[in-house]
A and B are shown apart, each in its own frame.
Chain A
Amino acid sequence: MKKLIAIISLLFASFAANAASQGSILVKTVAEQEQIVTAANGSKSTVLAPAKSVLPGREVIYTVTFENIGHEAASDVVVTNPVPEHTTYQPGSAFGPGTELLFSIDGGRSFAPAAGLEVHEHDGSVRAAGAEDYTHIRFVLKNSLTPGAVAFARYRTLVK
């Protein structure tokens, strides 16, 4: 156990070193589920609550926040999210203000807008890719992330 902690500390130390020397982006992923909350007056509202466990068939909402904690603007900011194992991407759910949205169907080797993705079947036929084919979701920030700026991207998945 001590050895593990040592290794992890080392990893964090190297991240921290990057942050210090290069002016960096702090990135965080949060998993949440929708919960219906009933207020004292009986009105119901849907809120996002942190998820620790799930059931098959339920939706999980992932939110990635990235903050420039350095002193220089970061350009060409690209956020890549593998669709988690045992889940499928919920069509149309990806959303990131000021970003261009790309998908991969080949394990992250290539990316394209949803409309441009085609699946070549073994029998030679070609079909448009569907959400179940996506392996990665990528958000490409259109503008630089200036020091102190925070951006976010969100997508939903369904647990198989």
Chain B
Amino acid sequence: MKQTGVCGNEAARKASSTRRIGAGVGAALALCALGSVAAAASTAASSTPAGTVIQASAEVTYVIGTQTVSVLSNAPSLTVNQLIDVAVGALMASVPVQPAESSRSVAFRVVNTGNAAETLHLQLATAVAGNVFDALPHPPALYLDADASGTLSGADQAYAPGGNDPVLAPGASVVVLALVDVPAGLADGARGRLELSARVGQASGAPGTVFPGAGSGGVDAIAGLSGGSALAGADLLISGVDVALLKSATVVNLAGGSVPQSGSRIDYDIAVQVRGRAGVHSLVVVDPIPASTHYLPASLQLDGIVLSDAADGDAGAFLSASTQIQVSLGEQPAGATHHVRFSVLIN
């Protein structure tokens, strides 16, 4: 019981580790209070840990006659109760997937929003009301994302309920990966929802429920707004890749009319449409020059803009060796439409 001689943070630490302070020690600690507050002002703005003892005191100085007197008040102690709270969120609310895709990982973040370390129980549900399809958990279905990369990698730990339940410090979070298989034969746009739930192992109940003495170090534990359990969903969205090329031709007889004959020009228009729900990348349109025709130099256009025939900085080229035109469209979002135009002359 040598706290009487200890001041500042050391006193606060000891006070909170004993958690219960008699009136005598409280009064003695009050003598230190003035010195310890400067440190208090610089502490981080996170939730005060459960079991912390908060003390306040006042110092009064006054003058009687010519003498200045200083007295300290008592220092009432408040113990910080344990707040049981957890939050879950999906890293991506909508995850594009392909039919029959195997071992697809979907990432969630679980956060201990309470003020004491908590053990969390995790559960994945794939059969969710309103689903067009239910994904199939790919055993062991849940992984703890050790490197918080959001994707499955070598160091990630398979989650075994009751075996390696994550223990999170106040404010700490863990990324949880759900691994699922997508059924085959699903139409573009079909949705299947996954839900990850996290429940505080110690206790959960309606918000405000008090668990007397159940908190860290014997303080009361109180269910926060989450009630100690939370869930979040992520939608798997079947996103087929579908690029349509619609080619049309117009014959221009240079002598007049539209009857094709030697020397007539044929204007081609290729409409490129990205129809699937998923965008595409590295999209390249290639079209061989038809037999018995030859490419009309400087006729290649993309969306009305003339492209040079050389394979250079712009998107298009006429490749004389393989006698084909080539236009690189690169990354294209779902719904994009472009027009590639070029002309040939009939031999």
Contacts and interface: CB of A to CB of B under 8 A. Distances in A.
Chain B binding surface SS class? mixed
B37 to A, nearest CB: 4
A92 interface: no
Contacts of A22: 64, 67, 69
Contacts of B55: 84-85
Q: What band does the interface of chain A fall in when counting residues whose beta carbon is under 8 Å from B?
A: 35 or more
Interface of B: 1, 4, 12, 24-25, 27-28, 33-34, 36-41, 43, 45-48, 52, 54-65, 67-69, 71-76, 78-81, 83, 115, 219-220, 222
Chain A binding surface SS class? mixed
A107 B35 CA distance: 8
B37 A29 contact: no
A7 interface: yes
B81 A74 contact: no
Given A55-B222, A159-B80, 14 more contacts: A4-B1, A4-B28, A53-B79, A64-B73, A72-B64, A79-B59, A80-B58, A83-B41, A84-B40, A84-B55, A108-B37, A135-B38, A135-B40, A159-B48
Interface in A69-102: 70, 72-87
Contacts, number: 168
Nearest to A107: B38
Interface string A1-27: 101110110011001001000111101
Contacts of B72: 27
Contacts of A11: 27-28
A66 B48 contact: no
Interface of A: 1, 3-5, 7-8, 11-12, 15, 18, 22-25, 27-31, 51-57, 60, 62, 64, 66, 70, 72-87, 106-108, 133, 135-136, 145, 157, 159-160
B26 to A, nearest CB: 10
B37 A107 contact: yes
Select the residue from B62, B71, B81 with max chain A CB neighbours within 10 A: B62
